[in-house]
């Protein structure tokens, strides 16, 4: 906790240092807000037009101010005096109106800013920082407000930490899924189709389908069945579920010719309730396990769209279980087993966050306090029985129920929220979902929501960067490329490719009349798992020369042995 507070103070103080430097260099700017973030800090300015080249100048000025060893001092003032101090800062004046408690100002040198703190003792403690980028940002995140200039930066306690972070960012740039997605021909975007709507190429689609099939194999083992629902619905369905009141501004709405309002579905659970409710269920029918990989649509703001990480068409590997109270523990454990197997296959380490409601803001949730207490108690029992450590996520629950969130750590030690298991007593109540129990009485069903990837698009963005585009064999869109040294090997190359394809492997022949070194280089850039090199010796001996994408070479390999090894590698989902 002390380290977190120290890091917060350092980041916060550096944002103030940056604001003072900007104010010195550009006296006409208007300052707004400059909070610390998980990654570092930023500050938003109005009336500031700069480029990335200007960041060096601002950073230099920051270092000059820091070396003056200026003390951060705090002063509490009445609201009337605060307004007077900020007469020339309209954004700060607006912020003051929302402050009900004490109003404090922090100063270093001639720069004073409205701020609740905390800060480091003096500017000389701020040494290991770097300004990273410039972006546009709406005031208070509202697109109806003015666009401001945001400057991002990072700061650390030591030079070693700063260098390590910058090296990590350089590696992340190389692995950027937007860059690799284009280079490997996995997906594309079109201005005619629209922002946030990715188009998947044949190669990218092969990967998506392989991931989805893997999840389906595991779900089928657990007794799930596939269902299919339409992509639109009357708004009344979401009014009943509670989603309309909560998310109507995020929905794509459609007005029919006869005046009804429909919506492109932003989630699937309300549709699945109607499948369950289409007939009377007995306790002998329970649980009902539905799954479907389908797209949902959300009207995200254009400025928030980011490659595959934030899109408007979201493919969910969605599942919903309708069960009895007694079955909840077994069903959550079954989903958890799938999550563990799925992410361990890709080499992700998982952390658990138990996301519960915020008792101080209960009015923002559906249902009764008793229902929430019962559902959170059930989930906590499952977690405790599995004997895993978990993060306490108070206030992180869905509006209809608590959830277990899985946090994956990738090969660059970055953390991502991925899978989720959500327990829902409220939608069964809202939709009056019942089954006939052993006594012949109607009993309320319990609903469990489960997404393994959460979103295939977002998971793909994480996976591409996690493996740096080097997909394991079972997932790779092009597993083997057959390369010929001369045209004399062409017929044998086609024969080998046919045998590989008939064995269920994804293989191709490079038909170009390039040198073998150039063909190998192109295959390596395409991150093909194996290159089969064929020359006169291989044709004569009816063998193969095998090269991996990492440069390992093996000669005189029999075709049957190669196929056997590859099929085993695919089956085991290794490498």
**Which residues are marked as active site?**
269, 298, 316, 318, 320, 403, 449
User: Please, what is the Cα angle at 341 between 335 and 347, to 5 degrees?
Assistant: 135
Q: What is the largest CA-CA distance in the chain?
A: 94
Q: Provide the β-strand partners of residue 310.
A: 306
Region of residue 96 (left: phi > 0; alpha: psi -120 to 50; beta: else):
alpha
DSSP-assigned letters across all residues of 157-194: SSHHHHHHHHHHHHHHHHH-HHHHHHHTT-EE--TTT-
Assigned token pair, 77: 């003032």
What's the alpha-carbon Rg for the chain, to the nearest Å? Answer: 29
Q: Are the C-beta atoms of 473 and 523 separated by less than 8 Å?
A: no
Region of residue 469 (left: phi > 0; alpha: psi -120 to 50; beta: else):
left
CB atoms under 10 Å from CB of 128, counted, come to 17
Distance between CA atoms of 523 and 517, rounded to whole angstroms? 10
Q: Are the C-beta atoms of 101 and 116 separated by less than 8 Å?
A: no
Q: Are the C-beta atoms of 12 and 36 separated by less than 8 Å?
A: yes
Q: Return the closest-CA partner of residue 211 out of 527, 507, 417, 453.
A: 453
CB atoms under 10 Å from CB of 391, counted, come to 12
**Residues for the chain: how many in total?**
575
């Amino acid at each position: 906790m002390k380290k977190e507070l120290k890091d917060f103070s350092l980041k916060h103080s550096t944002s103030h240092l940056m604001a003072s430097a900007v104010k010195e260099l550009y006296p006409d700017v208007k300052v707004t807000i400059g909070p610390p973030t998980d990654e570092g800090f930023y500050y938003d300015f109005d009336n500031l037009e700069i480029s990335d080249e200007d960041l060096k100048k601002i950073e230099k000025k920051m270092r000059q101010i820091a070396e003056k060893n200026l003390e951060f001092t705090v002063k509490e003032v009445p609201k009337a005096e605060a307004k007077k101090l900020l007469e020339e800062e309209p954004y700060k004046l607006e912020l003051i109106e929302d402050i009900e408690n004490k109003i404090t100002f922090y100063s270093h040198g001639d720069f004073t800013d409205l701020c609740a703190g905390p800060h480091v003792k003096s500017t000389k403690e701020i040494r290991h920082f770097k300004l990273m980028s410039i972006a546009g940002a709406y005031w208070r995140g509202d697109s109806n407000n003015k666009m401001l200039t945001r400057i991002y930066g990072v700061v650390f306690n030591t030079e070693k930490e700063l260098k390590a972070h910058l090296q990590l960012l350089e590696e992340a740039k190389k692995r950027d899924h937007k860059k690799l997605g284009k280079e490997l021909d996995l997906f594309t975007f079109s201005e005619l189709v629209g922002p946030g709507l990715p188009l998947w190429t044949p190669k990218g689609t092969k990967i998506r389908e392989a991931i989805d099939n893997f999840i389906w194999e595991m779900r089928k083992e657990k007794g799930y069945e596939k269902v299919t629902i339409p992509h639109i619905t009357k708004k009344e369905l979401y009014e009943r579920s509670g989603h309309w009141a909560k998310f109507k501004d995020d929905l794509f709405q459609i007005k029919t010719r006869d005046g009804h309002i429909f919506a492109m579905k932003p989630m699937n659970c309300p549709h699945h309730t109607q499948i369950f409710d289409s007939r009377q269920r007995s306790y002998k029918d329970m649980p009902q396990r539905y799954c479907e990989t389908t797209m949902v649509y959300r009207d995200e703001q254009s400025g928030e769209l980011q490659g595959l990480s934030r899109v408007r068409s979201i493919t969910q590997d969605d599942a919903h279980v309708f069960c009895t109270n007694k079955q909840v523990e077994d069903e959550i454990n079954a989903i958890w087993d799938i999550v563990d197997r799925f992410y361990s296959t890709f080499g992700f380490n998982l952390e658990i966050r138990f996301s519960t409601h915020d008792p101080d803001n209960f009015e923002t949730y559906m249902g009764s306090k008793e229902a929430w207490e019962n559902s959170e108690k059930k989930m906590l029992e499952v977690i405790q029985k599995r004997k895993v450590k978990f993060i306490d996520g108070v206030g992180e629950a869905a509006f209809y129920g608590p959830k277990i969130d899985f946090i994956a750590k990738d090969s660059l030690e970055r953390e991502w929220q991925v899978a989720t298991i959500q327990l829902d007593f409220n939608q069964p109540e809202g939709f009056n979902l019942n089954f006939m129990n052993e006594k012949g009485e109607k009993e309320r069903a319990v609903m469990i929501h489960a997404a393994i990837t959460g979103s295939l698009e977002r998971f793909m963005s994480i996976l591409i960067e996690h493996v740096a585009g080097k997909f394991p064999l079972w997932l790779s869109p092009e597993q083997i490329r057959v390369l010929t040294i001369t045209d004399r090997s062409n017929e044998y190359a086609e024969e080998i490719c046919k045998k590989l394809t008939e064995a269920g492997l994804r293989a191709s022949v490079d038909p170009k009349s390039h040198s073998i070194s150039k063909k190998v280089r192109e295959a390596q850039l395409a991150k093909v798992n194996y290159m089969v090199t064929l020359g006169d010796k291989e044709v004569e001996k009816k063998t193969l020369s095998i090269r991996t994408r990492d440069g390992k070479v093996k000669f005189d390999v029999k075709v049957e042995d190669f196929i056997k090894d590859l099929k085993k590698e695919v089956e085991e989902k290794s490498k």
